[in-house]
Chain A
């Protein structure tokens, strides 16, 4: 398995691949991933220019550990194959497929990636895939999409298009996205891939943004799409385990390992009843703390 498949992706910042001022150094804001967009942000007659800029950005700029995802144009356009070739040749880390509704689409993209990797001497399997779900049909097919390819690391909700398809609108309450979010996170977890929430476009409403991030964090999402760097610290703050969580998780892991050897199944930590079912969760907290750079323990 590609070791990057499970990497930390709390924030994925959208950037127009054509804008030098945006693509030159987004890493200073510390997003976990950036998404260089060839699709909606780029005008129809600028697609070639954007690809040119994308290729050189990928080749020339040291993104300092930030994952580089490229959003290609839809499979119903004439651009997507060339988008893939350009992104793979540049050495991107992943391709984001827009408007995904079926596992066949993922596999079509996978096939093109494989050809490009070969043509440009990129190790086969290096380039990962993520699928954006933007329609009611896509939501209903989420599990199939999640299980469609070994390269696929996750799915992401695209709320704008999805609500249009649902014949409603973004209200800020989240009620219109409830079903999609639930369905997608369940599908993703079932397929053991990651799940990402949609963008929050009301940039002045930082309080509303924080509430939304708290909600999706509790729902189980791995991260959120970001349209402005100002949103990044908020997401990281919410997704990064607190020192209290970390200390508790550390105790749980240590105790479970110790008690297991002694044949004890159920015990208490800080007054809470703990059994083996807590092990994976506690391990995940430690891993997340490590990935977020806040873990100072020995586990």
Chain B
């Protein structure tokens, strides 16, 4: 069946998953449902301890068995040790058919390849994957379907009961012996625990793993003891160098700076740039540079930001430090400056649900004026791909891309026109991950295209001195330089689905086929 972004979703996949094809961003607006609830084992006896010696033991206590779904968060990013540590013990216990439901997975999790190949892991649900796991999925090695869902989409899937997490493992920089967890302190300081809050609320068993046990009460707790079954202390939960690095040096790449300047010029000329506006940006060089140059204009024009959201980095925290923003709403910290900023009074931790879940009673993304995003590919219908590389291999993550893009009043995607030899603006993206209806503007080093559905923005940019072009013109320039690439060749077998934030199917990911040159 052809969905709302023109992608053919095979009937057998719809049948197998029980899902519907994507029908537009607002299709489920007003939908009513009853939330799922976890199994809770009460602790009444005041002599019971939640402390367990090691991961193997805690797995046994949680009743680990074949076919279970395990939850993980990715606040430790590429420095995460938790997933591998847990899965090694699951494997050693001879458990099979496990589904991993993580907020994201990266190259740090390459060791899981072995467990995919031997059937320990049969399902992967994540915002995205990279490295060997991505390659394994694209090679068709995963027994079940990989499901790529956005940060908001993950919360929706868990809250609605579509996914039941049997055991959630929450790596916590600090914990007390009763399971009060904080994202700050200790040696693996990651700032916040936003992505795992839904796990704590909805998983049947919740296991805290820490390398810094502090005395009770570890308050104010980011995740409360009332939701935690067990606490395990290990030597290291992550590599601090890869969890929160020093603030990225501002880019000196002129191409990125130029796109950042274009972006700022666009932002300040759009109607939402006024006292009290709201803003979110990613962590790419151009996005960070945009925040820096926007801060300058805000100062010059005496415009204050009401709130900034993220995925936070130093330039956003600088806004708070310099009194240019009233509040920061934090779901993740990308550098040490952001981690250190968490303790400030106007720096608020929010859960992934508050941030982006489309199936609650209203998330923060709905209140965003601007979001600045990146993309691997954008097509002439403004559909974006942030998950599947132009070589057809899964190598990226949706993150909050589809959530913020759908929520913000002005969604800007920045991408160089050509990435290596690959045109980033193309006729048809390899895989649709964010629908074109969510994207308002695409900024490249060769020019800027406004989505024709935003005639209001086109109108207010008429006198603005920016290199405006149509999206087709941008594509044509790209093709005139590097040529139109031949389509990636896929096998018929579907190995994964790109889930819309509302749980529908945006697109499917097929098994990669070895490229064969055409006769001509």
Whether A29 pairs with B258 at a CB distance below 8 angstroms is: yes
Q: How far is the CA of A203 from the CA of B445 in the complex (A)?
A: 21
Q: Does any Cβ of B come within 8 Å of A178's Cβ?
A: no
Question: Closest CB-CB distance, A139 to chain B, in whole Å?
Answer: 32
Partner of B481, one of A25, A203, A228: A25
Q: Which of A1-52 contact B (CB under 8 A)?
A: 24-25, 28-29
Q: Are A229 and B258 in contact (CB under 8 A)?
A: yes
Question: Which B residues are in CB contact (< 8 Å) with A229?
Answer: 254, 258
Say whether B446 faces chain A, with CB atoms less than 8 Å apart: yes
A-B contact number at CB 8 A = 17
A230 at the interface (CB under 8 A from B): yes
Determine if A28 and B446 form an interchain contact, defined as CB atoms under 8 angstroms apart: yes
Contact partners of B252 in chain A: CB under 8 A = 203
Across the interface, which residues of B come within 8 angstroms of A28, CB to CB?
A: 255, 258, 445-446
Residues of B within 8 A of A203 (CB): 252
Q: Is B190 an interface residue (CB 8 A)?
A: no
Which residue of chain B has the shortest Cβ distance to A231 in the bound complex?
A: B254
Number of B residues, CB within 8 Å of A: 9
B58 contacts A by Cβ under 8 Å: no
- Which of these, A24, A62, A230, contacts B257 with CB under 8 Å? A230
Q: How far is the CB of A30 from chain B (nearest CB, A)?
A: 9
Closest Cβ of chain A to B177, distance in Å, is 52
Contacts of B481 in A (CB 8 A): 24-25
User: Would you list which residues of chain B between 401 and 451 have a CB under 8 Å from chain A?
Assistant: 445-446
Closest chain-A Cβ to B128's Cβ sits at a distance in Å of 28
* B254 interface neighbour in A24, A62, A228, Cβ under 8 Å: A228
CB distance from B228 to the nearest CB of A (A): 50
Bound complex: CA of A230 vs CA of B256, how far in Å? 11
Q: What is the bound-complex CA distance between A230 and B250, given in angstroms?
A: 14
A121→B168 CA distance, assembly (Å): 74
Q: Tell me the residues in window 166-219 of chain A with beta carbons closer than 8 Å to chain B beta carbons.
A: 203
Across the interface, name the chain B residue whose C-beta is closest to A30. B467
Task: Give the distance to chain A from B514, nearest Cβ to Cβ, in Å.
Answer: 28
A interface footprint on B234-273 (CB within 8 Å = 1, 0 otherwise): 0000000000000000001011011000000000000000
Q: List 17 A-B contacts (CB under 8 A).
A: A24-B481, A25-B445, A25-B446, A25-B481, A28-B255, A28-B258, A28-B445, A28-B446, A29-B254, A29-B258, A62-B480, A203-B252, A228-B254, A229-B254, A229-B258, A230-B254, A230-B257
14 more CB-based (< 8 A) A-B contacts, given A25-B446, A29-B258, A229-B258:
A24-B481, A25-B445, A25-B481, A28-B255, A28-B258, A28-B445, A28-B446, A29-B254, A62-B480, A203-B252, A228-B254, A229-B254, A230-B254, A230-B257
- Contact surface of A with B, Cβ cutoff 8 Å: 24-25, 28-29, 62, 203, 228-230
